[in-house]
Amino acid sequence: MGIKKFFGLWLTMALLLSACNTGPKDDPSNVLSAYYQSVIDGDFIKAYNMHTEAYKQRNSQEDFSAYMNTLREFTTLSGSKVEKIKEEKNREVEGKKYRRVVELSVVEQIKDLVSNKETTSNYIRLVVSEGDQWMLHRDGDLKQSVADNLAFIGSMYMFGEGKEVNVNEAIKYYKKSLEYVPNDGKVQNVLAAAYLGAKRMKEAAETAQAALVNAKDNLSLSEVHNVLGLIAEEGGNFNDAKMEFEKAVELNPDNEYAKTNLARISKNDK
């Protein structure tokens, strides 16, 4: 066999092998089911490593574990049902083209620890081929999700929903939330209210002022002015309190808390 024929045959075989290598051979549904089982088992490192490299570049293992651990404070996953919807080849997902992309429907069986009720949630998940493995694709940055979870836990303690009322625990979780997203005006405002509940007046006033700066719309501003009114009222500054409540109602005429507070302080002012 001449050298040209040999290399021609070798190239043909290489191309055939490449064409046959279409990625992972196992069922992508099994991969997603294994992910959910890892979450149920609390093996968050294993669950994290089932994600694409793009996901892991955006989100650290620490943030993933923090998200899962905080989520477990108010909801638990008890099971899942995974079904394949469709598969596409050479599909682009968030700017990256994958050889194979499988769309799956998931029904999660969940226990809501706040209401103490069993419920279900429905999602569409993507599993993509990376080399010879199926990997779970998810978009988004987890820092905001962790912050939201921490703030929700804070409110559970603040209002006694799913937790015993404990204003100091509420403060702790609201502050942790702000470590992830420092300028969240809504969380700053509920933290100010928690400080007020703990009679930490200086911190309440300072935090409410920060919330005022970071409030993004009239509804949020109304909530902040209502808290500022309560802080002023607690400090005996009833004229300032009345002005804050009036401002809160002006910004949002449907703010029932502010309307109640304004009516109360106006009655006492007579």
Residue with tokens 């089932």: 50
Angstrom distance (rounded) from CA 77 to CA 110: 5
Domain spanning 23-140: CATH superfamily: NTF2-like; domain 1 (3.10.450.100)
Taking only the tens place, the pLDDT of each residue in 60-95 is 999 999 999 999 999 999 999 999 999 999 999 988
Better-scored residue on pLDDT, 243 or 13:
243
Which distant-in-sequence residues (6+ apart) come within 8 Å of 226 by Cβ?
Answer: 244, 245, 248, 255, 257, 258, 261
Question: Which alpha helices (H) appear in 21-137, and where do they start and end?
Answer: 28-41, 44-48, 53-58, 61-71
Fold equal for 23-140 and 144-269: no
The confidence score (pLDDT) of residue 248 equals 98
- Model-level pTM? 0.87
Give residue for tokens 């920060």: 210
| Distance in angstroms (rounded) separating the CA atoms of residues 156 and 115 | 11
What is the b/e burial string over 224-254, where b = at least 16 CB atoms within 10 angstroms of the residue's CB? bbbbbbbbbbeeeeeeebbbbbbbbbebbee
- Asked if 192 contacts 175 with a C-beta cutoff of 8 angstroms, the reply is no
Q: What are phi and psi of 152, to 5 degrees?
A: -65, -40
CATH number of 144-269: 1.25.40.10
Domain boundaries, the chain: 23-140, 144-269
With both helix axes pointing from N to C terminus, report the angle between 185-197 and 201-214 in degrees, rounded to the nearest 10: 160
pLDDT for 6: 42
